[in-house]
Structure 1
Amino acid sequence: MSIFLAGAGPDHAAFPEVFDRFAQAVSLRSRREAPARVAVVVHDRHGNPESLLPAYVDPLLARIEVEVVPVLLGAGAPCAPSVFDGVDGLVVGGGLTPGYREGLAASAGAISAAVASGVPYLGFSAGAMIAPQRALLGGYLSRGIEVCGEECSEGLAELEIRDGLGLAPFALDVHAAQAGTLSRAVAAVAAGLVERAVAVDENTALVLAAAGGDSFEVLGHGNCWDIRRSGTACIVSVLQAD
């Protein structure tokens, strides 16, 4: 299996590598003459998720034959776990992180089981943030103190950690250097909300070989900032693609 967690939304021109690698993983998983079945999950706070599908689907169609299984999330309408039965790949898009978490909460077990069976997962931005066992959903305050810009809050005030999809053993934040959310990931660890977090730059992804894996590969052109708690301090390691 492969789990790709990207630090921004889909940009097939600036960061084609993540689509290349995911398409390869799906092809290896499918191993059949029929098109691979790929579930593409999108959420739109304005109520038009269908409009977001091409940004995720078109780069895949340019690489492999795909039968798309659209999973359209709306406010208060979680999807049925059965939609993920028999898929060869799973893409979860970007947008409002709490909206994705709400829409997929009932399907977390089905998604984690599919990935454990070898189904590749590709999460962009929000789709990366909800992937961990304990997910950082947003917020811009830690104990009332501002730790990142309010524009990055996802509609939340205090930093909020909730159960995610169970695909990574550490919390994720995205748009790290570009939006200044690295400090939010550090604050989450410093406050003891999580023991470890990784903040991922744009045009960058981390790649886990298996769910729960402690180490990861860096793909792309930026940094992954690995933050770990050590006593009362935080240790930050900066990792780049080889």
Structure 2
Amino acid sequence: MSTVSLIGGGWSAPELYAAFVAESAGEIACVVIDEGDGADQFERWSAALRAAGDCRPAPVLVPVGEHLDVAALGDAGGLLVCGGLTPAYAAAVTPVASDLRRWLEDRPYCGFSAGAAIAGEQAVVGGWTVNGRPLIPEDAGEDLGEVTVVDGLALVPFLVDVHAGQWGTVPRLIESVRVSGVPGLAVDEDTAVTVAAGQVRVSGRGHAHLVRPGEDGAVAVTRYHAGQVVPVG
């Protein structure tokens, strides 16, 4: 597989897409879960991609409740999975994970917010409570109550949470890491982590927060900024 870029959300840093756009070399398939305004939502990412470089964004709208048809991606040079309600993206895209990984064998992947959150083998799709106890703000729960982890795309070997600094989601990732035993990264808005050539590197205007499991349910949290390599492995 080529490069995997995971953006934590935000609209102030179109430069985060530049390397992905260059590697895609032309048409970029943009998967948007369509809740009735999919075409309008697509235009937001199309504008961000075009601001980052010469490319041809192409909408792939998936109605809520349906699965992505990988054949609809055609011969595009790269794939952007966009943002919205993370459980809806997981329900639409992860059931075709094996077919999607085959399509991505020689193409780059970029995930924005929800598209980033579902990239791991397991995906943190939302929730704001643990055993009914509030953990993060309810508005960040993605319409779920309990913190929920489901099967992901298995594009990266770690959990991903997003809008870290802005929505306060680091505690949710800590709980997910503690339960799963798998390390994770919580990514700020206007920030990306890029996985390429065996390295995980941070870029953008915020931070990536590495959560590593320890003994007896303990975890360690370390913050990384642009230009730093994150030792996830």
1:41 aligns with 2:26: no
Q: 1:141 aligns with which of 129, 147, 159?
A: 129
Give deviations 1:26-67, integer Å, cap 9, x for gaps: 12xxxxxxxx2211011244x22111111111233342142x
Match of 1:220 in 2: 204
Tell me the residue number matched to 2:156: 168
Aligned-partner SS, 1:216:
strand
Quote the residue 1:241 is aligned against: 226
Q: Which amino acid aligns with 1:146?
A: P
1:194 to 1:141, Cα distance in 2 relative to 1, 3 A: farther
Matches within 5 A, 1:1-242: 1-9=2-10, 11=11, 14-27=12-25, 36-45=26-35, 47-62=36-51, 63-66=53-56, 68-115=57-104, 117-190=105-178, 192-209=179-196, 213=198, 215-232=199-216, 233-242=218-227
- In structure 2, list runs of 5 or more residues that go unmatched: 228-233
- 1:163-218: CA deviation from partner (whole Å, max 9, x where unpaired): 1111111111111111111111112122x1342111001110100016xx5x4000
TM-score w.r.t. the length of structure 2 is: 0.90
User: How much identity, in percent, do the aligned residues show?
Assistant: 34
Alignment partners' CA distance in 1, 2:181 and 2:141: 18
1:85 offset after TM fit, Å? 4.1
Q: Is the 8 A contact 2:14 2:49 kept in 1?
A: no
1:178 is paired with a residue whose SS is helix
The answer on whether the counterparts of 2:21 and 2:55 sit within 8 Å (CA) in structure 1 is no
Distance 1:89 1:95, change over 3 A: same
Aligned-partner residue type, residue 152 of structure 1? A
* Alpha-carbon separation, structure 2, partners of 1:88 and 1:202: 25
> Number of residues paired by the alignment?
224
Task: Give 5+ residue unaligned stretches, structure 1.
Answer: 28-35
SS at match of 1:226: strand
| Helix, strand or coil at the partner of 2:157 | coil
Structure 1: which amino acid aligns with 2:200?
A: F
